[in-house]
A and B are shown apart, each in its own frame.
Chain A
Amino acid sequence: MKNSLYAIACVSLLTFAGCKKSNNNVTTTGPTETQVLTDFSNDLANPNYQDIQAKAGVMNTAIDSLVLNTNTTNLNTARTAWVNTRRAWESCEGYLFGPVEDDNYDPDTDSWPVDAVELDSLLSSSNALTVGDISALPQTLKGYHAIEYIIFGEGSTAKASDITPRQKQFLSSLAQSIYNTTTNLRNSWDPLQGDFTAQVIGAGTAASTYFTSRQAAFLTIVGSMSDICDEVANSKMQTPFAARDSTLDESSFSHNSIIDFTNNITGIQNAYFSRYNNAGGHSLHELVAAKNASLDATLQSQMQAAISSFGIITTTFEKAIYTQRNQVASVQNTINTLKATLDGQLTTFVKTNIKD
């Protein structure tokens, strides 16, 4: 390991020494690195964050309807809206970097576990529950899982008639608070507002204070793809699996865990292809394919395998950790195989081929 570090250090030195800065960042064939960063921002990150905001808006409206008319139909509509928002959100977790992390949009909306004791105390108190009050609450009392706790309930057994007036008030503020946060998140990348997009596209130029080099930008993308593999396989799945305790599962109230996990891995694929909802542009995939077709094929196949692997679990994740343990372990292995390629060959590829 030590030798390999020095080897990397030497390669880096040689690379720095041998490479004068130039505008020539064109690979032998395929797009330029800047084109890839541009399309990553314009075809994936911006549309994904816009979609999260839109879905959170739909959820906010659905919850308003539920609060006004608390019936089973409206509860089901709100649940569907929650699941759809999660779908867009979990997908962006495939590449968590920039404002979503640095400005805490992630923990503000997606902290886990819900502090059930505190939440019950809060709801049985007479404390104000306006949107402003929500923002001052600890992260474990708000966000997606606090809404899930109320509209799905433990074991997904909540009924419309169970929802109390205080819960309605809380739900309404929570949904508005999430909508506000997702709006800020969307704006943080919007070229007309926070414009983190310029930081990504301008990586390695004076336009970017965030990424001192294009290599740093690509390493961040690849690192974030690897991080979510780790989080899904070795944390979200492993914790309840190892403890044989389904209450330790993140989306246990809604039984939405497998959909969450699948969308996390789809987010990795989206990052590799610079695409969202099947529309995309120039991508890291093209950079890799132009120089190392075999690595590209390996990555594509491992990503697809990781997404498909969830198919062998034929029940909810909460049940599978008891009854389909071999299948769960197999999914974890498939994701960890992808992680090893991202950490190993793809990281090396970026360090070797993206030099400025």
Chain B
Amino acid sequence: MKKLIVIGALGLCVLLLVKCQKSAVFPADQYNDQLSGGSETVFDATSKAFGNMFPELTGYDVHVHTLGDLIFNQEFVAEPAIIHGGLGPIYNNTACSDCHHNDGIGLPTTGGTQSSLLMRISLPGQDEHGGPVPVPGYGLQVQDKAVFGAVPEAAVNITYTYQELTLPDGTPYELRSPTYTLTNLYMPIVGDYLLSPRLAPPMVGLGLLEAIPESEIVAGADPNDANGDGIKGHANYVWDPVTQTTMIGRFGWKANTATVVTQVATAYNQDMGVTSSLMPVESSYGQSQYDGLKDDPELPDSLLNAVKFYAQTLAVPARRNTTDATIQHGEALFISAKCVNCHRQTFTTQVDVTRPYMSNQVIHPYTDMLVHDMGTGLADNRPDYLANGQEWRTAPLWGLGLFAVVNNPGYYLHDGRARNLTEAIMWHGGEAENAKNTFANMSASDRAAVLKFLLSL
């Protein structure tokens, strides 16, 4: 009985500790705040910092990750081909790494070989699962390239207008507002359609984000702003085409994708026109570009699984200079400005005995995995399941300070409109309006400290 009491007491302690971690402030005595990805953190601040394997992988897992790395970087070509065929007939790019260069953030252009911005498209309304309604002849994504003899769906054009603005202390800054239009439509679209631009995001830590317990994410939601902090996050629930169930959305700028494997299979299918057993129907099926080849699935399961595993097991780079006094001051300001009320510092991943490298990791992703109203400035006005036209998922900030090194010069936000961190912050609105204003009203040295802190992530 005594034993049971002791075990019970220990269990309670553990629970209490777990509860403690929900607090936004770092309990720094409990763990090393450099280790953003728990024990799957790597000490690499070079341009290859996002391309490291989990350091705890061993044996066959190393082989699978390495194979996935190879295929992630592999250019695909049109069928029939001796190897790596299946590209198109319509597509956005020819290799994963063409958009996710160095496994990092993409380049906000369209039409080029390294362009990493794609355009989602839909009709107003909801489909039978509550998701966006495909546009006849286009689906849910505009493929702006095509193999020889096929016609791209459209050209995506970006124009920017520039606003010269000043912070309250007179410091100037500039914001560029994008406008997106489609031209050269291969067939007309009847009625209004909705567009939403999406920039290729960095690849680090996806497996760890996938391993956060759903209950922990949902526990952080505050849809009615019960705590009165002006912030109302909620989870997105989306239809997962692989499991054919509704699941919590974790990935994508609006959290419209539930799992890494769905993300990978969808990207092959929609971005490259490469079919797999999970997504065996060509993106062009039913359209005039459809090749009619009986070659599906074009990507073997072994390679799909390898790329999935690669994406799940890319390590998170460690923070730098965490003992620097300015950086610590910047972190304190980041907390007091309530940035952490959405950019949540700490989660603990679920226990997973089959994958010890994913299991029970204390991670610092700087996201609550919830969607929030970000105001009219950033709005795409295109609902995606439960995320309305002004809501976006809190972007994870781990690795943020390395964007400029990994993908020089580095772009920020869902469509890469922000060219530096000040612009990214000043684009925040909606639920983040107060936090943005707190930053804007800081002294120049305090703002510099916040930015220096962000660059340490």
Binding site for B on A (CB under 8 A): 1-2, 5-6, 8-9, 12-13, 16-17, 97-98, 101-102, 104, 107-108, 111-118, 121-122, 125, 138-140, 209-213, 216, 219-220, 223, 230, 234-235, 239, 245, 247-248, 351
10 tightest A-B CB contacts, nearest first: A115-B77, A121-B148, A220-B46, A117-B78, A247-B82, A140-B75, A1-B56, A118-B78, A2-B39, A111-B75
| Cβ contacts under 8 Å, A230 to chain B | 66
Interface pair B32/A122, CB less than 8 Å apart: no
Give 4 new A-B contacts, CB below 8 A, not counting A138-B75, A351-B43: A107-B113, A114-B77, A115-B78, A248-B83
Interface pair B58/A97, CB less than 8 Å apart: no
| Cα(A207)–Cα(B35), bound, Å | 28
> In the complex where A1-B58, A2-B39, A118-B147 touch, is A113 in contact with B77 (Cβ < 8 A)?
yes
| B45, CB-defined interface residue at 8 Å | yes
| Cβ contacts under 8 Å, B56 to chain A | 1-2, 5
Q: List 16 A-B contacts (CB under 8 A).
A: A1-B55, A17-B323, A101-B47, A102-B101, A102-B102, A108-B113, A113-B83, A117-B81, A139-B75, A140-B94, A210-B408, A212-B405, A216-B46, A220-B46, A223-B46, A239-B83
Nearest-neighbour CB distance to chain B for A7, whole angstroms, equals 12
| Cα(A239)–Cα(B66), bound, Å | 13
**CB nearest neighbor in B for A112:** B75
Interface pair A122/B102, CB less than 8 Å apart: no
| Cβ contacts under 8 Å, B323 to chain A | 16-17
| Cβ contacts under 8 Å, B98 to chain A | 107, 139
| B210, CB-defined interface residue at 8 Å | no
| B222, CB-defined interface residue at 8 Å | no
Nearest-neighbour CB distance to chain B for A342, whole angstroms, equals 14
| Cβ contacts under 8 Å, B39 to chain A | 2, 5-6
| B444, CB-defined interface residue at 8 Å | no
| B34, CB-defined interface residue at 8 Å | yes
| B79, CB-defined interface residue at 8 Å | yes
| Cβ contacts under 8 Å, B114 to chain A | 104
Interface pair A113/B66, CB less than 8 Å apart: no
Interface pair A118/B404, CB less than 8 Å apart: no
> In the complex where A102-B408, A107-B75, A115-B78 touch, is A213 in contact with B45 (Cβ < 8 A)?
yes
> In the complex where A107-B75, A113-B83, A139-B94 touch, is A97 in contact with B148 (Cβ < 8 A)?
no
| Cα(A246)–Cα(B55), bound, Å | 34
Interface pair B84/A113, CB less than 8 Å apart: yes
Interface pair A125/B102, CB less than 8 Å apart: no
| B149, CB-defined interface residue at 8 Å | yes
**CB nearest neighbor in B for A4:** B55
| B80, CB-defined interface residue at 8 Å | yes
Within 8 A of A (CB), among B93-147: 94, 98, 101-102, 113-114, 145, 147
**CB nearest neighbor in A for B70:** A235
> In the complex where A113-B84, A121-B149, A235-B70 touch, is A9 in contact with B77 (Cβ < 8 A)?
no
| B44, CB-defined interface residue at 8 Å | yes
Within 8 A of A (CB), among B45-59: 45-48, 55-56, 58
Interchain CB contact (< 8 A) of A212 among B32, B45, B48, B82: B45
Within 8 A of A (CB), among B302-352: 318, 320-321, 323
**CB nearest neighbor in A for B404:** A209
| B276, CB-defined interface residue at 8 Å | no
Interface pair B43/A9, CB less than 8 Å apart: yes
| Cα(A166)–Cα(B46), bound, Å | 44
Nearest-neighbour CB distance to chain B for A221, whole angstroms, equals 10
Interface pair B32/A9, CB less than 8 Å apart: yes
Nearest-neighbour CB distance to chain B for A171, whole angstroms, equals 19
Interface pair B66/A118, CB less than 8 Å apart: no
| B259, CB-defined interface residue at 8 Å | no
Within 8 A of A (CB), among B177-204: none
| Cβ contacts under 8 Å, B318 to chain A | 9
| Cα(A213)–Cα(B44), bound, Å | 11
| Cβ contacts under 8 Å, A118 to chain B | 77-78, 147-148
| Cβ contacts under 8 Å, A248 to chain B | 82-83
| B41, CB-defined interface residue at 8 Å | yes
**CB nearest neighbor in B for A102:** B408
| Cα(A1)–Cα(B39), bound, Å | 9
Nearest-neighbour CB distance to chain B for A25, whole angstroms, equals 18
| Cα(A129)–Cα(B430), bound, Å | 50
Interface pair B75/A97, CB less than 8 Å apart: no
| Cα(A95)–Cα(B134), bound, Å | 46
